[in-house]
Amino acid sequence: MNIPIPNPLSISISFSTGIKTKKKLSAVIACYRDAQAVPFMHERLTAVFKKIEVDYEIIFVNDCSPDNALEVLRELAQNDYHVTVINHTRNFGSQSAFTSGMIVATGDAVILLDGDLQDPPEVIESFFQKWQEGYDVVYGIREKREATSFMQFAYKAFYRIFRAASYVPVPLDAGEFSLIDRKVVNAINSLPENNRMLRGLRAWVGFRQCGVPYFRPERMFGKTTNSMIANLGWARKAIFSFSFVPLDFISWLAFLTVGLSFIGIIFQITSRLLFPGGTPTGFTTLIVLILFMGGIQLLCFSIIGSYLAHIYDEVKHRPPFIVESIINPPKKS
C-alpha cells in the first residue's frame, strides 16, 4: 500500500503558523517605605499577568528603602524566578528608580507602578487591551483620588498650570502609571538628561498615546512620603524642565516695569506743573520704590538661578542613580 508522503514545506509552514508567541510585559515598581505592600503588589501583579496570558517579569527597584524592604524582596526573588530586585546605593528618587528598572527590563512593553499600591495593578488589563489596539503608550488618568479637598484642588490646578506652561502637550491628571511599548522605552532610555520627569519625557517623545481613567486610592500602608514642600519642589522641577514661560515672564515683567516707570514720570511732571504743592515727595516714597524694584530684581534672579541650577546639574554628567546589586537579573530572550 502506498502511503502518501507529506510535503516537508507544508509541514514547516503549518508548524510556523501554529506557534503563537506570547507577549512579554515588564512591570517596574519603585519601592521606598513599601515593604508591607510589596507582597500584595506581587500577588496582584501575578494574578493580572496570568489572567491576560502573557509572559512577564516583575522588577522591584529598592531605592534604598529604610524599612525591611530588602529582606522582603530577597525572599520574593528566591521563591519566584519572575522577580528581579534592583538595589540602589542610596535614595535617588522615584524618577531614577523607574529609569533604573526601564534600562534592565526586557519585555515587549514596560509598565510603571508606584510600590504603595496607589496604582492598582488590575488596571493593567485595560492598558494591555489598548496596547493590542495599536497604542504605543497607555497612561492612567487619575479621574478620582482619595485625598483632602485642598489636595485634590492643588493637584488639579498643578496639572492644568503645567499643561498651559509646557511646550509639549502633557496629559492632564496623568502620573507615571502607564504601559509603554518597547520602542518608546528605548527612545526614553536614549535621552541623556539626568533631571528626568518621565511623564514629561513620555509626552515629549511622541508616538501614539491614549489614557485610561482609574480611581487612585490612598496608600495601603503607612503615610505618604510626599509633603507639601516636596510637592512644591516637584512642581518647580516640572515647570523648569518643560517650560520657558518663567523666562518669558521676566521679559513681560521688565516691559511692565518700564511702562509703569514712564507713566510715573509723566504723572510726576504733570503734577508738578499743575499742582506744585501736591506732588508726592519724601523719604517714604523713595523707600517703597526701592523695595518694589529690589523685589522684582530678586524674583528675576531666582528664576534665572533655577534654570542655571538645572544646567549646572546636567553639565556635571553624574549618573541619575547607582546600582548596588541586582538579584535575579532578567535574561534577554
> What CATH number did the domain enclosing 33 receive?
3.90.550.10
> Does residue 234 fall inside a structural domain?
no
Residues 288, 160, single domain; the answer is no
Residues 261, 286, single domain; the answer is yes
Lowest-confidence segment of 82-91, 200-209, 249-258, 321-330 by average pLDDT = 249-258
- Residue 8 above 50 pLDDT? no
Residues 39, 94, single domain; the answer is yes
CB atoms under 10 Å from CB of 244, counted, come to 13
> Does residue 176 fall inside a structural domain?
yes
Q: What is the rounded CA–CA span in Å between residue 315 and residue 295?
A: 30
Residues 87, 223, single domain; the answer is yes
Q: Which domain holds residue 176?
A: 23-227+319-327
Give how far the C-alpha of residue 161 lies from the chain's centroid of Cα atoms, to the nearest Å. Answer: 16
Q: Look at residue 58 in the predicted model and tell me its pLDDT.
A: 92
Q: Look at residue 166 in the predicted model and tell me its pLDDT.
A: 75
Residues 311, 323, single domain; the answer is no
Q: What is the rounded CA–CA span in Å between residue 88 and residue 7?
A: 57
> Does residue 11 fall inside a structural domain?
no
Residues 114, 258, single domain; the answer is no
Q: Look at residue 4 in the predicted model and tell me its pLDDT.
A: 43
Nearest CA-CA partner of 139 in 223, 61, 199: 199
Look up the pTM and report it. Answer: 0.74
Tally of structural domains, the chain: 2
Q: Which residues neighbour 315 within 8 Å (Cβ) at sequence distance 6 or greater?
A: none
Q: How confident is the model at residue 282 (pLDDT cuts 50, 70, 90)?
A: low
> Does residue 282 fall inside a structural domain?
yes
- Name the residue with higher pLDDT: 29 or 229: 29
Q: What is the average pLDDT score of the chain? A: 79
Q: Which residues neighbour 18 within 8 Å (Cβ) at sequence distance 6 or greater?
A: none
- Name the residue with higher pLDDT: 39 or 144: 39
3-state secondary structure of 292: helix
Q: What is the rounded CA–CA span in Å between residue 67 and residue 65?
A: 6
Residues 166, 300, single domain; the answer is no
3-state secondary structure of 111: strand
Q: Look at residue 127 in the predicted model and tell me its pLDDT.
A: 92
- Residue 54 above 80 pLDDT? yes
Residues 257, 222, single domain; the answer is no
Q: Look at residue 220 in the predicted model and tell me its pLDDT.
A: 65
Q: Look at residue 263 in the predicted model and tell me its pLDDT.
A: 74
Residues 294, 145, single domain; the answer is no
What letters, b where the CB count within 10 A reaches 16 and e where it falls short, cover 97-107?
A: bbbbbbebbbb
Residues 270, 162, single domain; the answer is no
Per DSSP, the residues of 35-75 read TTTHHHHHHHHHHHHHHTT-EEEEEEEE---SSSHHHHHHH
Lowest-confidence segment of 48-62, 131-145, 302-316 by average pLDDT = 302-316
> Does residue 10 fall inside a structural domain?
no
Instruction: List, for residues 43-52, the tens digit of each pLDDT value.
Output: 999 999 998 8
Residues 28, 122, single domain; the answer is yes
Positive/negative CA dihedral, 287, 291, 297, 298: positive
Instruction: List, for residues 65-75, the tens digit of each pLDDT value.
Output: 888 888 889 88
Q: How confident is the model at residue 18 (pLDDT cuts 50, 70, 90)?
A: very low
Q: Which residues neighbour 17 within 8 Å (Cβ) at sequence distance 6 or greater?
A: none
Q: How confident is the model at residue 333 (pLDDT cuts 50, 70, 90)?
A: low
- Residue 179 above 90 pLDDT? yes
- Residue 296 above 80 pLDDT? no
Q: Which residues neighbour 215 within 8 Å (Cβ) at sequence distance 6 or greater?
A: 120, 143, 144, 145
Q: Look at residue 158 in the predicted model and tell me its pLDDT.
A: 76
Q: How confident is the model at residue 180 (pLDDT cuts 50, 70, 90)?
A: very high
Residues 49, 196, single domain; the answer is yes
Mean pLDDT value of segment 305-309: 80
